[in-house]
Amino acid sequence: MLYLRTSIAAAVLISGSALALAQTPAAPPPAAPPAAAAPPAATAPPPPAATAPLFATTKVEGTDNVYIFRYQGHQSMFVVTTAGVIVTDPIGLRRPQAVTTYIDEIKKVTQQPIKYVVYSHSHYDHIAGGKPFKDLGAKFIAHRNARAQLQRFPHPDVVMPDEVVGDKRVLRLGTTTLELLYVGRNHSDNSLVMRLPKEKLIFTVDFVPIQTLLFRNLPDTVSPPEWEKSLGRVLALDWDRMIPGHPYAGGRLGTKQDVKDLVGYMQDLSAEVKKAAEEGKCTDTAMKDIKLPKYEKWGNYATFLPSNVERYCYLNNGN
């Protein structure tokens, strides 16, 4: 029941423009230790550290053509091929200058046309602002549930996908192959993993936070156990490095160990909450009492642990 109330609250939230804010994980800014980054939950993405420039374009080490465009606390992968550019999230919510900057940055690297924009998932803070790419002729691709979500809750600054993906789509452009893979429901019901097989790189957004707790009480997440399963599918893929949708400290990319650690966190959290539920402590007492010292150095530990506990209490109550 409690969770039902939360669902209704979440639905109300989703129907308003607050969605993007609600879904913005408070990832640490670059060059800051993860534990130091705990901005208030409902604020916009963390500002860059005082010394960090507003945006940066970085070529991924060891690749010929894979880049990360970061603007404040969000980032997006783009791939330059011999037949055009594949862009991912526009990251332009309430800041159209991020998108025009993104295009300028691409132009500094290549004169190839921008052929595709691929959405990581339906949350506005990552995908708003794509119109300038559309005006350049890019085709927009997203998971089919993302389009359904955007049709239910349209946003004036979000370009509707032209094409949708089910479980898998292989995008070939020039000599580059980019796989778009659906690994199940997690942080949303429409997250795509983008995998570059040759480079053994993946780009994931919001559902594999690196050494950081889950966002609040997991709004827009239908099932934490399904999320955990989706992480197992990510681990089963062939890759070495993961580009996250929010920069981790020092710009470090994710590894399979980070995914395993996140699964470990979810399992430890689940076990502690189960014990508390059996002792009749869910929800309020558990939220106050449960500590997971093993993770106290992770980002947002103090801020989000109680609400992570809350969500798992609902799970123990059958929701």
**Binding region for Zn ion (CB under 5 A):** 23, 123, 206
Q: Which is nearer to Zn ion, 157 or 206 (CB)?
A: 206
Q: Which residues are CB-neighbours of 126 under 8 A, at least 6 positions away?
A: 74, 76, 89, 90, 91, 93, 119, 120, 205, 206, 245
Answer whether 231's CB lies under 8 Å from 11's CB: no
Shortest separation between residue 245's beta carbon and Zn ion, angstroms:
8
Answer whether 125's CB lies under 8 Å from 23's CB: yes
Shortest separation between residue 206's beta carbon and Zn ion, angstroms:
4
Q: Which is nearer to Zn ion, 123 or 195 (CB)?
A: 123
Answer whether 260's CB lies under 8 Å from 291's CB: no
Q: Which is nearer to Zn ion, 287 or 304 (CB)?
A: 304
Residue number of the CB atom closest to Zn ion:
123
Q: Which is nearer to Zn ion, 123 or 311 (CB)?
A: 123
Q: Which is nearer to Zn ion, 191 or 211 (CB)?
A: 191
Rounded-to-integer distance, Cα 33 and Cα 250, Å: 8
- Exposure letters 2-14 (e unless 16+ CB within 10 A, then b): ebeebeeebeebb
Shortest separation between residue 311's beta carbon and Zn ion, angstroms:
15
Shortest separation between residue 24's beta carbon and Zn ion, angstroms:
7
Shortest separation between residue 124's beta carbon and Zn ion, angstroms:
9
Name residue, tokens 């595709």. 116
Q: Which is nearer to Zn ion, 84 or 209 (CB)?
A: 209
Q: Which is nearer to Zn ion, 199 or 206 (CB)?
A: 206
Shortest separation between residue 231's beta carbon and Zn ion, angstroms:
16
Name residue, tokens 């997250």. 191
Rounded-to-integer distance, Cα 161 and Cα 59, Å: 27
For the chain, the straight-line distance linking the first and the last C-alpha, in angstroms and rounded, comes to: 8
Q: Look at residues 73, 77, 1, 76 and name the one whose alpha carbon lies nearest to residue 39.
A: 73
Shortest separation between residue 92's beta carbon and Zn ion, angstroms:
15
Planar angle of CA 86, 106, 79, nearest 5 degrees: 30
